[in-house]
């Protein structure tokens, strides 16, 4: 043994090191990720503390599902992956719902979960919170990765980011076992191992022949229609999308979360003539919208088909980043694959000067239908029944949103969702965030928190009383971070409505809640403002004050308990309701 050896060893011992916790934080920061939505606990508590100490914003929730929904919608709003951080097994499972939600809705999100020791998990020896999380996450994630060595953290996070935001965005799972966080490597090697992802969501330019095919079809159309989906909202190509609609002069239908991409009051907006334009159109251009159940799969009576499985004869153009989306339900005559920004600008460039607007008889017919329906709705909205119903309450919300077009708008429920979607106009892109592709309940408070954090704007949430219950405890989180959130609970004493009766007596019916529940006191319990509102005037005053003060506010809007229908507008999906 030479004398030099102990010297080398001591030099190594003195070389600065970096641990797994720090590498994760540095890798996120290096990639411009500045916010974590999560819930601390073993083994990630120190990760949340150190991330906060290092300047990341760490928002701590009361339940992982809500943190996950927050992360998913942050991804939608920012085009950066929303980060949800959970503990192992049960925390991970609670976060899994939102991971699936992100994947299904095409929102970029990364669920990072701590996990137990691989050696013990794989031999099923009964570790603390033992679970093979990677295997469980994989089927509901766009991609799933696990990092076992500190020097791979940089690669793991880079791959997770790319998978989440490139192509069709989605939910990504990143498994970080407890042991990884404590691993230390030389700081210099650690720094070198990190990757700043270059061009994480590369533009995907559509092929010129596909652009021409789409334009030829559009040009020949007598009754064209454009459908804008939340993919179009996500793409942040707002000016080009507006130019495309206006230059072609084609009526358009915004899907729920595409409302406001152009103002709902735009003369070409056909929302109020939906049941006329879908069966009536001859060529339909889908932009970032899928022909799933929300569009009756492109066939059946909604589309002018005779029976359930019949196609109405429309030709379809589909602009989408996923090459596999076309033909998923009906034939797509002109698939246009690429990112929406690139596709729409290629369409605009290809149109050239002298593009003829659609035939006047189509435009007039759409306009006529729309005007009649709007007038009918205005009559209903002007009524002031006692007790207040959905319409008279939403008439107030409609005015408040019109006066505050920059406010973020969260919406969930059954009837509270359907009525709100059709009554409350949106004026700006990416303001309306709601139940999405699955039509789920539970996104409410998570969405409110992320919307406030990511936008800095006031948030208005219109919640069914049932929907609110899924995430209601997060009012504490809203108060803790003093977020400008105004929650309006459409309280009709139950699921769908509050009038069901148990024919045998005893317990109340499964759809019925405590009568005249005082939800507003939940907000007061944490220092926010609670308001009990029985009239549109009281509701208006409370909402105006909430927007003005930016204080966390919960308005218990008492609605006629007989208002509302079974399953809202999707009664047809409910076998029991169908028989009734």
Positions in the binding site for ligand ADP (CB under 6 A): 105-106, 168-169, 229-231, 234-235, 255, 257-258, 288-290, 292, 294, 320-322, 325, 339-340, 437
Candidates 41, 113, 109, 114; CA nearest to 69 is 109
Which residue's CB is nearer to Mg ion, number 224 or number 498? 498
Q: Residue 325 or 454: which CB sits closer to ligand ADP?
A: 325
**What's the burial of 350, exposed, middle or buried (CB within 10 Å: 0-12/13-18/19+)?**
middle
264 binds, among Mg ion, ligand ADP, none (CB under 5 to 8 A by kind): none
Comparison of 23 and 235: residue with beta carbon closer to ligand ADP? 235
Whether 35 and 453 have beta carbons less than 8 Å apart is answered as yes
In angstroms, what is the minimal distance from the CB of 343 to ligand ADP?
A: 7
For the chain, the 3-state helix, strand and coil shares in percent, each to the nearest 5, are: 45, 15, 35
The entry of ligand ADP, Mg ion, none near residue 290 (CB within 5 to 8 angstroms by kind) is ligand ADP
Nearer to ligand ADP, 341 or 472 (CB): 341
Edge-to-edge strands of the sheet including 35-38?
A: 57-60, 35-38, 82-86, 109-115, 171-177, 143-146
Whole-angstrom Cα distance, residue 55 to residue 52? 5
Ranges of H-type helices in 138-265: 153-165, 178-182, 187-193, 208-220, 230-234, 238-248
H-helix or E-strand spanning residue 316? strand 315-320
- The residue among 315 and 421 lying less far from ligand ADP, judged by its C-beta, is 421
Report in angstroms how near the CB of residue 314 gets to ligand ADP at its nearest: 16
User: What does the alpha-carbon distance between residue 256 and residue 422 come to, in Å, rounded to a whole number?
Assistant: 9
Q: Confirm if 421 and 411 have CB atoms less than 8 A apart.
A: yes
Closest to ligand ADP by CB, 332 vs 555, is: 332
Q: Which CB atom, from 244 or from 258, has the smaller least distance to ligand ADP?
A: 258
At a CB cut-off of 8 Å and minimum separation 6, what does 128 contact? 42, 88, 116
Part in contact with Mg ion (CB under 5 A); list of ranges 25-33, 294-302, 465-473, 520-528: 465-473
- Residue 35 in the binding site for Mg ion (CB under 5 A): no
| Binding of residue 465 to Mg ion (CB under 5 A) | yes
389 makes contact with Mg ion (CB under 5 A): no
Q: Which does 168 bind (CB under 5 to 8 A by kind): ligand ADP, Mg ion, none?
A: ligand ADP
Handedness of CA 228, 232, 233, 239 (dihedral sign): negative
Minimum distance of ligand ADP from residue 280's CB (angstroms): 19
User: Cβ distance 15 to 63 under 8 Å?
Assistant: no
CA distance 566 to 495: 8
From ligand ADP, Mg ion, none, which one binds at residue 465 (CB under 5 to 8 Å depending on kind)? Mg ion
The option from ligand ADP, Mg ion, none interacting with 294 (CB < 5 to 8 A, set by class) reads ligand ADP
Answer with the entry of ligand ADP, Mg ion, none that 574 interacts with (C-beta below 5 to 8 A by kind).
none
Question: 269 contacts which partner out of Mg ion, ligand ADP, none, CB within 5 to 8 A by kind?
Answer: none
| CA quadruple 70, 76, 79, 81: dihedral sign | positive
73 and 34 Cβ atoms separated by less than 8 Å = no
Least CB distance from residue 76 to ligand ADP, whole Å? 9
Shortest CB 144 distance to ligand ADP, Å: 20
In the complex, residue closest to ligand ADP by CB: 231
Selection from 437, 447, 462 nearest residue 82 by Cα: 447
Residue with smaller CB distance to Mg ion, 8 or 514: 514
**CB of 230 within 8 A of CB of 258?**
yes
Tell me which of ligand ADP, Mg ion, none is bound by residue 257, counting a contact when its beta carbon lies within the kind-specific cut-off of 5 to 8 angstroms. Answer: ligand ADP
**555: helix, coil or strand?**
strand
For Mg ion, the binding residues in 479-498 under the rule CB under 5 A are: 492
CA 485/CA 32 separation, integer angstroms: 26
**The three-state (H, E, C) secondary structure of 529-540, written as one string:** EEEEECCHHHHH
- For the bound state, the minimum distance from the C-beta of residue 328 to ligand ADP, rounded and expressed in Å, comes to 9
**Measured from the CB of residue 292, what is the shortest distance to ligand ADP in angstroms?**
6
In the bound state with ligand ADP, the residue whose beta carbon lies nearer, of 89 and 295, is 295
CB of 108 to ligand ADP, least distance (A): 9
Our CB check for ligand ADP shows the closer of 94 and 437 to be 437
Residues near Mg ion (CB under 5 A), total:
4
- Distance in Å, CB of 310 to ligand ADP, minimum: 22
In this structure, are residues 537 and 384 in contact, taking their beta carbons and an 8 Å threshold? no
Q: For Mg ion, give the closer residue by CB, 177 or 469.
A: 469
Give me the least distance between CB of 569 and Mg ion, in Å please: 15
* Structural contact between residues 281 and 313, judged by C-beta atoms closer than 8 angstroms: no
235 or 394: whose CB is closer to ligand ADP?
235
The whole-angstrom separation of Cα 338 and Cα 318 is: 10
| Contact of residue 127 among Mg ion, ligand ADP, none (CB under 5-8 Å per partner type) | none
**Cα dist from 430 to 12, 127, 352, 380, 463, whole Å:** 53, 44, 29, 28, 18
Residue 492, contacted partner among ligand ADP, Mg ion, none, CB below 5-8 A by kind: Mg ion
Number of residues written out for the chain? 580
Output the smallest distance, CB 464 to Mg ion, in A.
5
User: To 10 degrees, the CA torsion angle through 454, 460, 463, 467?
Assistant: 10
CB-nearer residue toward Mg ion: 381 or 517? 517
Contact set for Mg ion, span 488-547 (CB under 5 A): 492
By a kind-dependent CB cut-off of 5 to 8 A, residue 235 interacts, out of ligand ADP, Mg ion, none, with ligand ADP
- Which of ligand ADP, Mg ion, none has residue 255 at its interface (CB below 5 to 8 Å by kind)? ligand ADP
322 binds, options Mg ion, ligand ADP, none, Cβ within 5 to 8 A by partner type: ligand ADP
**305 SS3 class:** coil
Q: Shortest Cβ distance from residue 110 to ligand ADP (Å)?
A: 17
Answer for the pair 468, 519: CB distance below 8 angstroms, yes or no. Answer: yes
Nearer to Mg ion, 114 or 464 (CB): 464
Binding site for Mg ion (CB under 5 A): 464-466, 492
């Amino acid at each position: 043994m030479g004398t030099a050896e102990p010297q080398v060893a001591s030099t190594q011992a003195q070389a600065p090191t970096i641990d797994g916790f720090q590498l994760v934080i540095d890798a996120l920061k290096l990639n411009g990720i500045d916010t974590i939505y999560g819930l601390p606990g073993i083994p990630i508590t120190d990760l949340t503390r150190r991330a906060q100490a290092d300047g990341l914003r760490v928002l701590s929730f009361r339940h992982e599902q809500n943190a996950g929904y927050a992360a998913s919608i942050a991804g939608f709003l920012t085009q950066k992956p929303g980060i949800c951080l959970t503990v192992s097994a049960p925390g991970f499972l609670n976060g899994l719902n939102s991971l699936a939600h992100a994947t299904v809705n095409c929102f970029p999100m990364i669920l990072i979960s701590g996990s137990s020791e691989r050696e013990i998990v794989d031999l099923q020896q009964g570790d603390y919170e033992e679970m093979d999380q990677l295997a469980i996450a994989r089927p509901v994630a766009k991609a799933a990765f696990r990092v076992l060595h500190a020097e791979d953290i940089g690669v793991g996070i880079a791959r997770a980011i790319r998978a989440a935001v490139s192509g069709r965005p989605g939910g990504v799972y990143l498994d970080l076992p407890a042991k990884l966080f404590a691993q230390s490597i030389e700081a210099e090697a650690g720094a070198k191992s990190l990757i700043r992802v270059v061009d994480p969501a590369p533009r995907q330019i559509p092929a010129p022949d596909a652009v021409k095919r789409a334009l030829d079809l559009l040009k020949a159309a007598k009754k064209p229609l454009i459908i804008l989906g939340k993919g179009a909202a996500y793409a942040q190509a707002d000016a080009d999308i507006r130019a495309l609609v206006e230059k072609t002069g084609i009526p358009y239908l915004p899907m729920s979360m595409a409302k406001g991409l152009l103002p709902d009051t735009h003369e070409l907006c056909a929302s109020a003539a939906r049941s006329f334009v879908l069966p009536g159109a001859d060529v339909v251009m889908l932009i970032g919208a899928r022909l799933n159940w929300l569009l009756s799969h492109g066939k059946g009576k909604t589309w002018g088909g005779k029976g359930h499985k019949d196609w109405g004869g429309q030709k379809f153009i589909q602009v989408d980043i996923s090459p596999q989306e076309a033909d998923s339900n009906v034939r797509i005559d002109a698939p246009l694959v690429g990112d929406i920004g690139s596709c729409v600008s290629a369409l605009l460039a290809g149109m050239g000067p002298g593009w003829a607007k659609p035939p006047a008889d189509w435009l007039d017919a759409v306009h006529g239908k729309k005007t009649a329906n709007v007038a009918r709705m205005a009559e209903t909205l002007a009524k002031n029944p006692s007790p207040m119903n959905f319409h008279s309450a939403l008439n107030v919300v409609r005015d408040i949103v019109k006066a505050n077009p920059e406010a973020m708008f969260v919406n969930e429920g059954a009837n509270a969702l359907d009525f709100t979607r059709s009554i409350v106009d949106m004026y700006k892109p990416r303001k309306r965030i709601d139940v999405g592709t699955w039509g789920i309940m539970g996104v409410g408070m998570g969405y409110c928190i992320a919307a406030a954090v990511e936008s800095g704007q006031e948030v208005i949430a219109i919640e069914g009383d049932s929907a609110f219950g899924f995430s209601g405890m997060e009012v504490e989180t809203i108060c803790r971070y003093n977020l400008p959130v105004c929650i309006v609970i459409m309280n009709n004493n139950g699921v769908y409505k509050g009038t069901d009766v148990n024919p045998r007596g005893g317990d109340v019916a499964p759809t019925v809640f405590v009568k005249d529940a005082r939800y507003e006191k939940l907000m007061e319990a944490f220092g926010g403002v609670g308001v009990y509102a029985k009239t549109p005037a009281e509701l208006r005053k409370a909402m105006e004050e909430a927007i003005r003060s930016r204080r966390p506010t919960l308005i218990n809007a008492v609605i006629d308990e007989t208002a509302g229908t079974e399953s809202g507008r999707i009664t047809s999906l409910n076998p029991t309701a169908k028989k009734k």
